[in-house]
Structure 1
Amino acid sequence: MHDDAQILAHAVDGPEDAPVVVMGSSLGTDRHMWDAQVPVLARRYRVVRYELRGHGRSGTPRTEGPATIADLGSDVLRLMDHLGVASAHHVGLSIGGMVALWLAQRHPERVERVAVVCSAPYLPPAEGWLTRAATVRREGMGALVDAVMSRWFTETYDDERRRAALRQSFLAVDPEGYAQCCEAVAGMDLRPELPSISAPLLLVAGDSDAATPPELSAAAAETLRAAGAEVRYEVVADAAHISAVQQAPAVTRLVLEHLDAQDPVRAAGTRVRREVLGDAHVNRAQERTTSFTADFQDLITRYAWGDVWTRPGIDRRMRSAITLAVLATLGHDGEFAMHVRAALRNGLTVDEIREVLLHIGVYAGVPVSNHAFALAQQVLDDVESERS
């Protein structure tokens, strides 16, 4: 950590030789906003969480005139230079996302992939931000805390301990640093140069975010697509502005998928896994991922789905038939039921599934076949019920 106002305070996690991910937080929060994401990301990325000027342990520099988004972006570049990071992936929420977009526009050589969460390239009216800056300079952070935090979470968010910690973080922000960040947002309009961004982008919105409504991210995504950019736009359900806290598993999944897309084996594995098992199943599996299970999930994605299921030697129908036979024989009931659904997605008919289960009765035993028939019937009944 550094108290020097010239270098942003920061925390670094993950392997020293791993690709670097620079993460910027929302206005009024510190690096702990990303606490839920770090244990998973740091398994295979070098995660650098910085704190905005005046936030956390970062000092507040003196400025001549209003601060700009370029000033905040330069803060991050200075930190990267300090750490010896030539280029990195950039992930940011709210003002952190604005800084990431500015870096992608003005310093593309320092940017790999970009994930922008609950943010926008333009957030008027400027008068509102300037009024907020004047208020904290005059009355302190307590004058804004209730109004600002009322937009951070939906009514369903019930983690009072986490809410209280974020409140304390907000109240601990240096009013001058907060005011400078407000000035930067007031004077910012990144829309004209948005089409110049060449880095692959992920834009994530919270469906109930009143601070940066989803339509702002959707409009940015359309502009980027029209310019030929590689962009993915996703909306997270039951999430207001600080979605990385309220819906941490969903945001972690989206960010990790976006960063992993640089690896062709992981990207292919994720694609095939979704095609075979369905988005709902894969989302649940990834959103349950912890630092303890992250390596195993990566193993499944890379080697089972990225290496084996993508091989051209046999088609997916045959792979499904083989998988059903092996899982039934070994008595892996949960995986077997999941792969009955997968077999249907891969084009096996109910008659063909029946033939596979009859066949294993001869070679693996009638009791095995009988049990497999019972499990498969439950799945088929559920599928039929879902379709009706």
Structure 2
Amino acid sequence: MERYVDVAPGVRLWAEDIAPHADATEDRTASAEPLLLVMGANASGVAWPDPLIARLAERHRVIRYDHRDTGRSTWAFDEHPYAISDLGGDAIAVLDAFGVERAHVVGMSMGGVLVQLLLLDHPDRLLSATVLCTTALGSGLAAGDPADAAPVLPDPDPALLALWQEMDRPRDRDAEIAWRVEHWRLLNGSGTPFDAEEFRALEERVVAHAGRHDNPAAHARAARTGLDRGAELAEVEVPTLVIEAPEDPINPPPHSGHLSRAIGGGRLVRVPGMGHALNSTVIEPVAAAILTQTAAAGTAAAPS
């Protein structure tokens, strides 16, 4: 079921509620716990691969949505500017719109940063959290002031930094998709095979969903205020899994290790060879890690 969610004056988000897999039993469908997917910067909800969603929907009611300035959500950063931290509140608004009191939440990249904000500000709304390809609040790209980041962790690959300088340049549709495929090639890294056609098909779907191919890079321009909260992570009690991608060119090790240690009760799982991309070779281990996490959290929360 698709719907639009108003999150601020003049700003609405596209969201989709995906019922549990058709093969699930009636009892499992009725009791399926919600799982919210929070995507990374400048990426819409349909960037989550369909095979991953299908695996998660074997046990969960899956909810995904388009951030502001992506997909079918409002594109109006210049008229309605915001900080990255504001996007955390958008996730809660999506849960409210679908009548979800508590959910498992999965965040990738910037989405993982937003999930950390949810852990701090809305722990009562989370059954569990899983973050991947991300960094801790107050560090790396999640530092409000990069000069104050602590500890000092590796920067993104210089080749990526150079490509990001071209992110918002005007291109026709074919050139834009070609640029995005090259972006995915760098994000994927060399630890697993890169299939250009797989990511071309993904971006064709993303563009068709949005109805436009331009990229205003709004999240790269959004303020980073409110992110220097890494010290608060030690108080987190919600079961939290950190998935480490050892070949991640944006947040390489030891970013994930630092985050898992910073979070109270955090747990670390490594997916060998994974970069900053959900290609077909890593979907199964990522799905298995998420489902193990949600099952354990559900068991822990169940009355004895």
Measured at CA, do residues 88 and 97 of structure 1 come closer, stay the same or move farther in structure 2, by a change above 3 Å? same
- Residue 214 of structure 1: aligned partner: 253
- Residue 250 of structure 1: aligned partner: 285
Measured at CA, do residues 164 and 3 of structure 1 come closer, stay the same or move farther in structure 2, by a change above 3 Å? same
Residue type of the alignment partner of 2:67: L
Paired residues of 2:13 and 2:67 also in contact (CA < 8 A): no
- Residue 12 of structure 1: aligned partner: 18
Measured at CA, do residues 148 and 78 of structure 1 come closer, stay the same or move farther in structure 2, by a change above 3 Å? same
Pairs within 5 Å for 1:60-99: 60-62=75-77, 66-99=81-114
Pairs within 5 Å for 1:1-388: 1-2=2-3, 5-14=11-20, 15=29, 17-27=31-41, 28-62=43-77, 66-121=81-136, 122-124=139-141, 136-139=167-170, 142=176, 145=180, 148-155=183-190, 156-168=192-204, 179-184=217-222, 186-187=224-225, 188-224=227-263, 229-243=264-278, 245-264=280-299
Tell me, in whole angstroms, the C-alpha distance in 1 between the residues paired with 2:236 and 2:223. Answer: 20
Measured at CA, do residues 66 and 91 of structure 1 come closer, stay the same or move farther in structure 2, by a change above 3 Å? same
Q: Report the count of equivalent residues.
A: 263
Residue type of the alignment partner of 1:9: A
The Cα offsets for residues 183-217 of structure 1, whole Å up to 9 and x where unpaired, read as 34755434232223221110011111111112111
C-alpha deviation, 1:135, in angstroms: 5.2
Report the identity percentage: 24
Measured at CA, do residues 185 and 152 of structure 1 come closer, stay the same or move farther in structure 2, by a change above 3 Å? farther
Higher strand share: 2
Relative contact order higher in (CA < 8 Å, ≥ 6 apart): 2
Measured at CA, do residues 66 and 263 of structure 1 come closer, stay the same or move farther in structure 2, by a change above 3 Å? closer
C-alpha deviation, 1:22, in angstroms: 0.3
The Cα offsets for residues 340-360 of structure 1, whole Å up to 9 and x where unpaired, read as xxxxxxxxxxxxxxxxxxxxx
C-alpha deviation, 1:87, in angstroms: 1.6
C-alpha deviation, 1:220, in angstroms: 1.2
The Cα offsets for residues 91-141 of structure 1, whole Å up to 9 and x where unpaired, read as 011112111111111111111200001111233387899998885455369
Tell me, in whole angstroms, the C-alpha distance in 1 between the residues paired with 2:204 and 2:291. Answer: 29
Residue 238 of structure 2: SS of its match in structure 1?
Answer: coil
The Cα offsets for residues 272-301 of structure 1, whole Å up to 9 and x where unpaired, read as xxxxxxxxxxxxxxxxxxxxxxxxxxxxxx
Paired residues of 2:88 and 2:114 also in contact (CA < 8 A): yes
Residue 64 of structure 2: SS of its match in structure 1?
Answer: strand
C-alpha deviation, 1:47, in angstroms: 0.9
Q: Over aligned residues, Cα RMSD in angstroms? A: 3.5
Higher helix share: 1
Tell me, in whole angstroms, the C-alpha distance in 2 between the residues paired with 1:42 and 1:254. Answer: 14
Paired residues of 2:170 and 2:214 also in contact (CA < 8 A): no
Residue type of the alignment partner of 1:87: R
Tell me, in whole angstroms, the C-alpha distance in 1 between the residues paired with 2:234 and 2:114. Answer: 16
C-alpha deviation, 1:64, in angstroms: 6.0
Between 1:90-99 and 1:128-137, the stretch displaced more is: 128-137
Paired residues of 2:242 and 2:256 also in contact (CA < 8 A): yes
C-alpha deviation, 1:56, in angstroms: 2.6
Paired residues of 2:15 and 2:63 also in contact (CA < 8 A): no
Tell me, in whole angstroms, the C-alpha distance in 2 between the residues paired with 1:260 and 1:90. Answer: 13
Instruction: Provide TM-score, normalisation by structure 2.
Output: 0.73
Q: Note the residue ranges of structure 1 that are not aligned, 5 or more in a row.
A: 268-388
The Cα offsets for residues 195-245 of structure 1, whole Å up to 9 and x where unpaired, read as 232211100111111111121110111222xxxx22210111111101465
Paired residues of 1:203 and 1:232 also in contact (CA < 8 A): yes
Tell me, in whole angstroms, the C-alpha distance in 2 between the residues paired with 1:192 and 1:119. Answer: 17
Paired residues of 1:3 and 1:59 also in contact (CA < 8 A): no
Measured at CA, do residues 185 and 149 of structure 1 come closer, stay the same or move farther in structure 2, by a change above 3 Å? farther
